[in-house]
Chain A
Amino acid sequence: MDIAESSIRPRDAVELSRASVAFGRGEAKVHALQPTDLRLAEGEFLALVGPSGCGKSTILKLASGLLRPSSGNVIVGGREVAARALRVGMAFQNPTLLPWLTIERNVMLPLKIVRPFRNEYRLKRKTEFRDRVHALLDDVGLSKFTNHYPWQLSGGMLQRANLCRALIHEPSLLLLDEPFGALDQFTREELWGTMQALWMKRRPTVMLVTHDLKEAGFLATRICVMSARPGRIIDDRPVEFPRPRTVEMTFMPDFVALNQRLRERIIDARSTQIAEVG
């Protein structure tokens, strides 16, 4: 690649080039992800959709540095990923808050671990860091629950706190693996609103893995559809509905049409897989 081209392009937050993942070796080798190219500009909100087991979560793990590619490169924030160097935020379907800490302390946990915050943790945990946590919890409507313990909160509230924990250290990249998957319909829609507000206010780069096409259309600036295992990206399209989006908008013809197209692509991908297996 010539230098001129790469210097003109705005800095990519995430760049996968020919990145592939395979587990095992020889006969038992399983390809989880085919060589994949994917670029994400700073501030983009990407949703990854596709049939189960297609390698969506594998892409997240690559971007987080938890998994090394078997071939190709993964560059996040301008450097090759190495688990220690990054400060990405992650949130999963299971909120995994620590039951012995209050919500405030749970959300503050990354500041205790990530450099450079950890060096100032003892000094600032009761002043600056505390205010920061409170401001963030206020954004998601949890300001009254800072001193509660996780078991005193509902599933939706726990997931809000979980999002806060993923964002408190202002990560260069936010990775969400079906964070709203276990919630009921109404709570989920509520959380979409919360997530959108957080993103509009703080503009992190986000990669969201989801099964819910409506969720993808509501939140993302761009949607990638993946094929069945071994996964690859078979569709990549921008989502240009105005913001802030509302749940009502998801019933408009344009939105429904987008859902339909995504759905067809995924059904295609699934039927190819079934044909291959059969």
Chain B
Amino acid sequence: MSYPLRRRLWAAALILGFFVLWEVLCLALQVSDLILPRPSQILATLFSRMDVLWPHILQTLWTTMIGFALGVIVGVVIGALIGTSRIAYDTAYPLLIGFSSIPKVAVVPVLVLWFGAGPLPAVLTALAMCFFPIVVNIATGLASTEPELEDVLKSLGASKMDLLLNVGLPRTMPFFFASLKIAATFAFVGTVLAETVASNKGIGNVMMSASSNFDVPLVFAGLFILAFLGVALYVVFSLIETRFVGWANRKSDFAST
């Protein structure tokens, strides 16, 4: 059996084993489902209530995607700005650090104050959560161009735009896609956060109301959905990454593709 296949089997076995252990321990110790429901109960809840949950899943998903898309735009613009200009970097970086270190949960009440409860604060929270890793990665990628290469191209008469298009941006792509994976999951966290605090729709809201009704299996069903969506987003952006910046991984099979 080849190593990659074995590795995957082990990983799958670990995940499965985790849930089996959970199930067995709950049964053996007779844990009340008000504290910790068994995975089988959670899955049953998930399927029986899918018709109710489905609109909330969609709500969370599109809120996340909009916040994420806006975050990418904002992140790329700011990252390109501070990555190409020393002055912009020195000027803007302290403010950015300050902004990014505010716990976003503290921003949600402000957003609700301005925009009311609903999808808009969630979109904005997702944006606020996810743009910073993109900024940092784009800026780093742009700043890491070799000075010799810059000399070679400048002596050919290359403009700043030539450098950006031919060297800066392609070099930044691996950093960019790596940050997308992180940013997508962050955006997701932001959305759920805002939904939990102030919203009447979305998985975060479902979990909040289920929790106040002591509907514990539904709370866990919400968690399962979140985990699944988070992993799915990560996988999607990993696939996009391999497709576009395979060169950065230097795999020997890349040359033939």
B222 to chain A, nearest CB (A): 42
Q: In whole angstroms, what is the CA distance A85 to B158 when docked?
A: 10
Bitwise interface map of B from 136 to 152 toward A, beta carbon under 8 Å scored 1, else 0: 00000000001011011
| Cβ A92 vs Cβ B162 within 8 A | no
Q: In whole angstroms, what is the CA distance A87 to B156 when docked?
A: 5
Contacts of A99 in B (CB 8 A): 247-248
Considering the complex, which residues of chain B in the window 203-257 have a beta carbon less than 8 Å from any beta carbon of chain A?
A: 245, 247-248, 250, 254-255
Secondary structure of the A contact surface, majority rule: loop
| Cβ B146 vs Cβ A96 within 8 A | yes
Q: In whole angstroms, what is the CA distance A89 to B146 when docked?
A: 17
| Cβ B247 vs Cβ A92 within 8 A | no
| Cβ B157 vs Cβ A149 within 8 A | no
Residue of A61, A90, A113 touching B166 (CB-CB under 8 A) = A113
Contacts of B152 in A (CB 8 A): 90-92, 96, 165-166
Bitwise interface map of A from 160 to 174 toward B, beta carbon under 8 Å scored 1, else 0: 000001100100000
| Cβ B155 vs Cβ A65 within 8 A | yes
Q: In whole angstroms, what is the CA distance A96 to B145 when docked?
A: 10
Q: In whole angstroms, what is the CA distance A175 to B156 when docked?
A: 12
| Cβ A113 vs Cβ B247 within 8 A | no
A86 to chain B, nearest CB (A): 7
Considering the complex, which residues of chain B in the window 83-115 have a beta carbon less than 8 Å from any beta carbon of chain A?
A: none
Q: In whole angstroms, what is the CA distance A64 to B151 when docked?
A: 9
Contacts of A66 in B (CB 8 A): 151, 154-155
Q: Count chain B CB atoms within 10 A of each CB in A64, A83, A100, A110 and give the residue with the most.
A: A100
| Cβ B156 vs Cβ A151 within 8 A | no
B55 within 8 A of A: no
A27 to chain B, nearest CB (A): 25
| Cβ B170 vs Cβ A114 within 8 A | no
With contacts A90-B151, A94-B146, A94-B148 taken as known, whether A110 is within 8 angstroms of B156 at the C-beta atoms is: yes
Q: In whole angstroms, what is the CA distance A86 to B157 when docked?
A: 7
A115 within 8 A of B: yes
| Cβ B162 vs Cβ A113 within 8 A | yes
Q: In whole angstroms, what is the CA distance A147 to B256 when docked?
A: 10
| Cβ B146 vs Cβ A175 within 8 A | no
| Cβ B250 vs Cβ A151 within 8 A | yes
| Cβ A86 vs Cβ B155 within 8 A | yes
Residue of A91, A96, A152, A169 touching B156 (CB-CB under 8 A) = A169
Contacts of A96 in B (CB 8 A): 146, 148-149, 152
A80 to chain B, nearest CB (A): 15
Q: In whole angstroms, what is the CA distance A178 to B4 when docked?
A: 44
B167 within 8 A of A: yes
A109 within 8 A of B: yes
A98 within 8 A of B: yes
Question: Of all chain A residues, which has the CB nearest B170?
Answer: A100
| Cβ A148 vs Cβ B255 within 8 A | yes
A112 within 8 A of B: yes
Question: Of all chain A residues, which has the CB nearest B159?
Answer: A84
A88 within 8 A of B: yes
Considering the complex, which residues of chain B in the window 159-173 have a beta carbon less than 8 Å from any beta carbon of chain A?
A: 162, 166-167, 170-171, 173
Given contact pairs A66-B154, A89-B155, A112-B166, enumerate 12 new A-B contacts (beta carbons under 8 Å).
Answer: A86-B155, A87-B156, A88-B156, A92-B148, A96-B146, A98-B167, A109-B166, A110-B156, A113-B153, A148-B255, A166-B152, A169-B156
Could you write out 23 A-B pairs with CB less than 8 Å apart? A61-B151, A64-B151, A83-B155, A84-B157, A86-B155, A88-B155, A89-B155, A90-B151, A92-B148, A92-B151, A92-B152, A96-B146, A96-B149, A98-B166, A98-B170, A99-B248, A100-B170, A100-B248, A112-B166, A113-B153, A114-B156, A149-B255, A169-B156
